[in-house]
Amino acid sequence: MSNSINLRTSAHAEVSLVSIEQIHKYIARYCCNSQLCVKHLQHHFGIPYSALCDIFQREYRVLPREYIERYRIARLVAEGYKVYPLLPRTQYGFDNERTLQRAFMRTVGIKPNDWFKNVMNSDNPEILSANKAKDVFPFRELMF
């Protein structure tokens, strides 16, 4: 019985070594598409939900859904100051403003409009936004 557990674990490890980079690049490429979700990743990469969760837990200590959400918020934080106050919310992969606000509050801790007002009143909004994006998404380099 322990052999099957070891085989399952090594199969998951093999999947993570082969495809974690591909998964990250795919998320980076399609993060602004509101259709991107864990189920979509499962289907696209042919990875079972449990294996996908294992990969993300092992590599980043978060679930795939949180990884996608944090990537979207980090991108919004890094780029949003350029278009504030006319934030194109759907451009960042959120179906509606309420979904974006809830995700932003969970991740950054304040409402998006309050964040961007603070950024725009700072001496260097670009640096402040880039640093906060790294805090929001500490897993690896952002690819925009």
Domain count, the chain: 2
| Among 70, 67, 33, residue whose Cα is nearest residue 53 | 67
Q: What is the dihedral of CA 27, 31, 36, 41, to 10 degrees?
A: 0
For residue 123 the two structure tokens come to: 């001496």
User: Per residue of the chain (144 residues), what is the pLDDT tens digit?
Assistant: 322 222 244 444 444 444 788 899 999 999 989 899 999 999 999 889 999 999 999 999 999 999 999 999 999 888 877 776 676 666 788 888 888 889 999 999 999 889 888 888 888 888 888 888 899 888 877 666
The reply to whether 143 falls in a domain is no
The reply to whether 130 falls in a domain is yes
In one-letter notation, the amino acid at residue 100 is L
CA–CA distance, 120 with 13 (Å, rounded to integer): 44
- Tell me, yes or no, whether 89 and 38 share the same domain: no
pTM here is 0.81
Boundaries of domain holding 26: 2-63
- Tell me, yes or no, whether 76 and 129 share the same domain: yes
